[in-house]
Amino acid sequence: MKQIGKRLIELLLFLLILSFISFLIMKLTPGDPVRFMLNVDDVSISEEQIESLREELGFNDPVYIQFGRWVLRFFQFDLGQSFMTNQPVTEELAKRIPASLALTFSALLILTVISVPIGTLSALYKDTWVDHLSRAFALIGASVPSFWLGLLFIQLFSVRLGWLPSMGKGTILHMILPSLTLGLVMAAVYVRLLRSSLLESLGQDFIKSAKARGLSSSRIFFFHAFRHSLIPVITVLGVSLGSLLGGAVIIEVLFAYPGVGKLAVDAIVRRDYPVIQGYILFMGLFVVTINILVDLSYRFLNPEIRLKELDRN
Amino acid sequence: MIQTLLLSRNPYRVVILVLLALSVILMTVPVLVPFDPNHVDMGNRLQPISVEHLLGTDHLGRDLFSRILVGAQTTVGTSIFVLSIALLIGIPIGLISGYIGGRIDRMMMRVVDAFLAFPDYLVAIVLSGLLGPGMINLVIAIVTVKWVGYTRLVRSTVLSEKQKDYIAGAKINGLSSFQILLKHMIPHILGNVMVLATLDIGKIILMIAALSYIGLGAQPPSPEWGAMLNEGKSFFYNAPQLMIIPGLSIMIIVFIFNLLGDYLRDRFDVKDQKGGL
Amino acid sequence: MSVLKIENLTIKKQEETIVDNVCIDIKAGEWLALVGESGSGKSVTATVIGGLLPKALKIESGNILLENQNILNLNERAFRKIRGKQISYIFQDYQGAFSPFIKIGKQFDEMLASHTTWKKRERVELTLHMLDSVNLSAQQVYNNYPFQLSGGQVQRAAIAIATILKPKLLIADEPTTALDSLTSLKVLELIYNLKEQTGCAVLFITHDLRHVKKYANNLSIMLRGKLVEYGDKKEIVEKPKHEYTKQLLSAIPPLRNSPTRLLTINTEKEKEVTIV
C-alpha cells in the first residue's frame, strides 16, 4: 500500500513537470498559432482580427499566468478546444484512444505469437538451421522500414488480392494489416532478446542442478529456465510498449487509421497546440502507467524483490 | 596491407574497413550519378527500367537511379552526422557523471531517466513537428532522443570498471584521475559504444526515413529515401519500382549495419553461452 | 560389491585428452576422494558419470558400470531415471543448487514427483524429515526461497535433496570450496553421517587434501587427466609414490600457521593483483 501511495505521488509530480514541459515547448517553438488558426480558412485577415483572437485566447497575458491557467484547467480535465474542430481536446482524444489501444494490443498479441515460439526454438536448437533461420528473421525484421512493409501489404492484400481493406476503421478486418505490420517488425527484437535471455538462463548452474536431479527437459525448460528468462523480456516489453505506440503513429498515418497518433500528426502539421499538448499528456500518462505495471510484474516474477519490500515495511 | 586488413578478425579493423568502404562509395556518388536527380522532364514520366534509366523515372521524369544514389548520401550521411553529435554530447556527460559520481551523477541520471521514459519515436515526432518540417530540425529532434543512450552506457561502463582492482592498482601507482580515465577507461568504453553505435545507425536511418515519409523530415523535391517512398506510393500500379526501390535501399543499408552490429556484439560479448538442453 | 566401476575411461576435447585411461572402483559405503588441481579432469570425470558431459567433450573409450550395468549406452530418458535417484550430485556453487525463484519445498516436491508415484502428503513428509535431518528448521525452509537462506543452509538443503531418494552413489564436486571453513567442516560431517545412515558410496572431489584427511577411505590423485596415485588413504599419506603427491602432502599447512597456497594450484584463473 505504501508503495502504491508513493507511486501516486510520483505520478502527480511527473504530470506537473510534464505539463510544464509541454507548455514550455509550445511557447518556445517558432510559428504563431493564431496565424495558423486563421490561415486554415484561407480568407484574408486583418491585424485587428489576429489581435482580438490573441486577446481572446489569452496569448497576450504574461507567461506565468498562461501557465497557471493551463495547470488549473488541466486538473479539471479541461485541455481546451481543438483549433481545427472546435471540439474539446479531451473528447477528441477519448474518441481516438480506444482505436489506438486496440491497435497496440493486437500488435502486441501478434508480436508474442511470433516471437515466443521462434525465440524459444532458436535457443533450444542453438547453432542448427532452426537457429540460423530465426536469427536471419530477426536481422531482416530489424532492418525493414515498417511503413514500407505496410505499403507492400496494402498492395498485396488490398489492391491485388482484395482480401482486406487498406484504410480507415470500423471492423476487425481494418485492424489486421496495421497490427500485422507493427507486430511483425517489433517481433524481430523479441526473438533475439528471448533467445539470448533463454541461453543465459540455460547456462546457469541451477539448470545443471535440475538436470542432475533427473527432471525432464521440458520441465526444466518451462518451469526453471523460461520463467527466469522472462524478467529481462518484460522489462524491454514495458519500455517498448511506449515505442509500440510511437511506431503506431507511423502505421496509423500510413493506414489512415483513426488513432491518437494520426490525430497528433495532423495536429502537429496544423499547429493545433491544444491537441498536441493533450497528446503529450496522454502519452506521458500511458508511459508512466506502463512503467508501474512493469514494476508490479517484477514483483510477481521475482519474489526476491517482493520479499525484500515486505521486510522493509 | 589490404589483405591483412581484409583477413583480420580484429573488430576495430572490421568496422574501420566497412566505414571506409562506405565513405568511398558515398564520396564517389557525384561521379557515378548519370543525371541531375532533381531535373524534371515531364515528357519522360514513369519510364520503365531501361539502359538509359537504370531504374526508370518517377512521376516527374526524374531519373530514379540518380535519386537513389544521391538519396544514399542524404540518408546515410545525415544519420552518421546525427550519431556523431549524439556521441559528442553523450560520451563526455556519461564519463563525467560516472567518474565524479555523487550529486552531479544523481542529477544527470534524473535527466537521463526522464528522457528515457519517453519512446524515442514519439519525442522525435513531436519535436520535429513543433520545430517545423525540415532536415535540420529532424537532426535536432533525433539527436535529442539519441544522446541519452550513450550517456547511460558510458556511465554504467565507468561505474563497473571503477570497481575493478586494476583501477585501484593504477591509483596506487600514482596515476592521476585523468590518466586513468584516458588509459584504462576509454578502451573499455570504446568497445561498448561501438556496438551500440553500429546498431543505432540502422535505427537512425529508419527513423529519418519514417519521419520523412510522414512529411516531417526531408521535403520534396529533396531525394531522401523516405520522402521518395511517399511520393512514389501513388504510382505503384504503373511504376512499382518507385516504391519498391527506395524501400529496398533502406532495408539493405540498415541490414548491413545490423549485420555489423550483430557481429560486433558477438565479438565483444565475453559471456560464454551454452545452448540446448 | 562395487557400486561404481570406471574402466579405462578416456575423454577428449577435440584432440586434447582431458581424461586419460582412468580406472576407478567404489564400493558401497566407501568414501573415495578424488584430488587434483583445476583442469586436471576430476570434474569432467564427475559429470560423465551422471551423463552430464558438455557437448564439446567426447568419450573416446571405456566403460562406466553402475552396479554392473553399463550406463554409457543409456539413452537420455533412461539416464534421467538414474540421475537423482541412484546417482546424485552436490555441486560447488551452492547458489546454483536451486532455481532462484521457486520455493525450496516445491523443488523437493517436483523432484520426488518425477521419480516416484508417491502421494503429495508422503512427499511433504519425507521432505520435512530430510530437511530436519540436515539440521534445518524444516517447516520454515520448506516455504523459503533459496535467496532467503545462508550459503551453509542452502548447501545443507542441497545435500538433503541429493540424498532424499537414498542414492547408491553421491558425487560431491567440491561442495565445500565456496564455504567458510567452519561451515565446511559441518557440511563434511553431514555428508559423512548421511553416508553412514544410507550406506551409499561417496565420490568426493576436491583440490584440497585437507578436506580428505578425516573421512576418506580411499584416495586418488589426478594430474593432467591421469590417475597418478590410487589406493588406501593411509598408505598413500604415509608412503606417497608419485612426486606430485609428495608435493601436495608437504603443502598441507601445520595448523598454527596461516594457510599458504599450493604453488601448483595457481592457474590462469587466479591472476591476482599484488599490491606491494
Q: How much helix, strand and coil, in percent to the nearest 5, is found in chain A?
A: 80, 0, 20
Contact C275 B276 (CB under 8 A): no
For cell 524515442, the residue is B120
Residues 6 or more apart whose Cβ sits within 8 Å of residue B266: none
Q: Return the percentage of chain B with pLDDT > 90, whole number.
A: 6
Chain A residue with Cα closest to C49: A212
Give the DSSP H/E element, type plus range, for residue B101.
none
Contact A272, B126 (CB under 8 A): no
* Beta partners for residue C202, in sequence order: C31, C170
For cell 590417475, the residue is C227
Write out pLDDT tens, residues A161-200.
Answer: 777 776 666 667 777 888 888 888 888 888 888 888 888 8
Instruction: State residue B85's pLDDT score.
Output: 94
Half-sphere exposure of A207 (CA within 13 A, CB side): 23
Contact C241, C229 (CB under 8 A): yes
Distances (CA, A) of C258 to C36, C182, C254, C255: 22, 15, 8, 8
Instruction: State residue B204's pLDDT score.
Output: 92
- Distance from the Cα of A184 to chain C's closest Cα (Å) equals 32
What does the DSSP 8-state code read for residue A226? Answer: I
With beta carbons under 8 A apart, name residues in chain A contacting B118. 242, 283-284, 287
Write out pLDDT tens, residues B74-126.
Answer: 888 889 899 999 999 998 888 888 878 778 887 787 777 777 767 788 788 88
Contact C161 A213 (CB under 8 A): yes
Residues 133-192 of B with CB under 8 A from C: 165-166, 168-169, 172
Residues 6 or more apart whose Cβ sits within 8 Å of residue B161: B167, B184, B185, B188
Write out pLDDT tens, residues A32-44.
Answer: 666 666 655 555 6
B276 touches chain C (CB under 8 A): yes
Which of C54, C55, C273 is opposite residue B165, by nearest beta carbon?
Answer: C273
What average pLDDT does range B182-196 have in this prediction?
80
Residue closest to A236 by CA, chosen among A84, A115, A150, A124? A115
For cell 502507467, the residue is A289
Which of A30, A244, A265 is opposite residue B214, by nearest beta carbon?
Answer: A265
Residue C259 has pLDDT above 50, yes or no: no
Which of B165, B166, B171 should one mutate to test binding to chain C, selecting the residue with the greatest count of C CBs within 10 A?
A: B165
Which of C54, C55, C273 is opposite residue B166, by nearest beta carbon?
Answer: C273
Contact A287 B272 (CB under 8 A): no
Residue B221 preceded by cis peptide, ω within 30: yes
Residue C266 has pLDDT above 50, yes or no: no
Q: Which chains touch C (3 or more CB pairs under 8 A)?
A: A, B
**ipTM reported for the complex, 2 dp:** 0.80
Within 10 angstroms of residue A188's Cβ, the number of other Cβ atoms is 23
- Distance from the Cα of C273 to chain B's closest Cα (Å) equals 7
Contact A246 B229 (CB under 8 A): no
Residue closest to B208 by CA, chosen among B89, B116, B80? B80
Give B4 or C28, the one with higher predicted confidence: C28
Chain C residue with Cα closest to A205: C96
DSSP A145-207: -HHHHHHHHIIIIIIIS--S--S--SSTHHHHHHHHHHHHHHHHHHHHHHHHHHHHHHTSHHH
What average pLDDT does range B227-233 have in this prediction?
81
Total beta-carbon pairs less than 8 A apart between chain B and chain C: 9
Chain B residue with Cα closest to C276: B172
Separation of alpha carbons B258 and B202, rounded Å: 6
Residue C155 has pLDDT above 70, yes or no: yes
Write out pLDDT tens, residues C205-228.
Answer: 888 777 777 787 888 888 887 777
Mean pLDDT of all residues belonging to chain B: 78
Which of A209, A301, A302 is opposite residue C97, by nearest beta carbon?
Answer: A209
Write out pLDDT tens, residues B132-157.
Answer: 778 888 899 899 889 988 888 888 88
Total beta-carbon pairs less than 8 A apart between chain A and chain B: 146
